[in-house]
Amino acid sequence: MTAATRSPGIALDRARLVDFLAEYGFVVFFAIWTLFLAVATDRFLTERNILLLLRQASIFAIPALGATFVIFLGELDISFGSTIGVAGVVAAEFLLLGLGPVAAVTGAVVFGALVGLANGLLVTVLRIPSVVATLGMLSLVLGVGIVWTGGRALSGPELDPLDPLAQGYVGAIPVPVILLFVSYAIGWIVLNRTRFGRHVYLTGDNSEASFRAGIATDRIRVAVFVVAGALAGFGGVILVSRVSQASASLGTEALFPVLTAVILGGAGLQGGRGHILNTLIASVFLASLLNGLILLGVDAEYQRILLGGILILAVSLDRLRD
């Protein structure tokens, strides 16, 4: 067999390898990393640490669920960093006014949904590229939150009613872990068992063809941005519950791990492909990286270097696949 006849097969194998690495390579590394930590430290595979790891993952995995929906459309939402923080401020203000935890959570989720609605309208009505629209919204929402709070953090015993969301247990399972898996179960059902989910994938794969086929692509975009905003708002409440204070800038640190989890999970930046459960696994993987590095005594600066390298690698594999 000549080199010319072998080359198509070699190219096909290489393409399959790149596709596999882009979508599941992190799972292989996750398994290797877990085995390494199991040998390097006797604290990693304990029940207490695993539950702690899952609770840490829930803080950015729930907003990552909404961000995954957006990327499936071929769009990008980076406004959730400030939405998380300011939604937490909304929840805290409601509690400080004595309105109760249900009103506080509802207010935060509605605030997030309104930010998502604004993003969706900017993208569909004004035709502003999503990365530009949501970058502007990131700055706008953060600025409003800082002016609103005067740059100070809100804290006090009035926030205690939110404690069960991040610190409570149902039996031996932390509440945020339950919320995490319930959220992804619902997300999986919506994407894989509903017409809306099919339309999300179709719109992301080929918006023009989907529109010609009768799919209301703009409505799909707006709805997805609203869902993403609402989940970011809910994530803000969980974060406030976790740290027992609220500030407008509290969610900015979530921007990096959320985007990393979504892209690492293999959601194509061009839209139309990906699996929602991969985002969940990638979120847990990222939490395990930070958790393991802390157990190994690695400095925070080196943790940032590693996470940055992982994001670059994930994006590079996605571009190679395209």
CB-facing half-sphere around the CA of 169: CA atoms within 13 A: 6
* CATH of range 42-321; options 3.40.50, 2.50.20, 3.40.1000, 1.10.3470: 1.10.3470
Amino acid identity, residue 19? D
Q: What pLDDT score does 10 carry?
A: 65
Q: What pLDDT score does 23 carry?
A: 66
What is the block-wise mean pLDDT of the chain (322 residues), using blocks of 10 residues? 54 67 74 90 91 90 94 92 95 94 97 98 96 96 95 92 92 93 96 94 92 95 97 95 92 84 74 83 89 85 77 66 56
DSSP class of residue 153 equals P
Q: What pLDDT score does 305 carry?
A: 82
CA distance linking residue 305 with residue 106, whole number of Å:
37
Largest pairwise CA distance in the chain:
79
Amino acid identity, residue 308? G
CA distance linking residue 139 with residue 78, whole number of Å:
10
Whole-model pTM: value is 0.89
